[in-house]
Amino acid sequence: MTDILNRLAVIVASRADADPSESHTAALIAKGRAKIAEKVGEEAIETVIAAVQNDRDALIAESADLLFHLSVLWAHAGISPSDVDAELARREGVSGIAEKAGRTR
């Protein structure tokens, strides 16, 4: 999945400065981080609903929407998929309970 997320990050970056009337990505970025985060939340809720309803096709589609909007949020925040990969690698092999207990934030 990292490959597609990296390609998506490149696409998002290439569209960030496009005309907002011609690019959904540019329109989101123009609205700012709070609006982008709101969209991530909406897509997360729709993903949860699809999961609860046991709707596999909707879960796949909503997951893709969630990852797209999360990619836009990452781009706005200056975060790359490799930054997230590094964090996941750091946590690999550590129990969730131990990892949460060791957080400083």
CB burial of residue 77 (10 Å; 0-12, 13-18, 19+): exposed
Domain range for 31 is: 2-101
pLDDT in tens, the chain (105 residues): 679 999 999 999 999 999 999 999 999 999 999 999 999 999 999 999 999 999 999 999 999 999 999 999 999 999 999 999 999 999 888 776 665 666 666
CB atoms within 10 A of CB 1: 8
Number of domains in the chain: 1
Predicted TM-score (pTM) of the model is: 0.86
CATH at residue 46: 1.10.287.1080
Q: What is the pLDDT of residue 62?
A: 98
Q: How far apart are CA 101 and CA 13, in angstroms?
A: 35
User: In whole angstroms, what is the distance from residue 12 CA to residue 26 CA?
Assistant: 8
- In whole angstroms, what is the distance from residue 81 CA to residue 100 CA? 22
Integer Cα distance of 36 and 26 in angstroms: 11
- Tell me, what amino acid is at 88? L
Q: What does the chain come to in residues?
A: 105
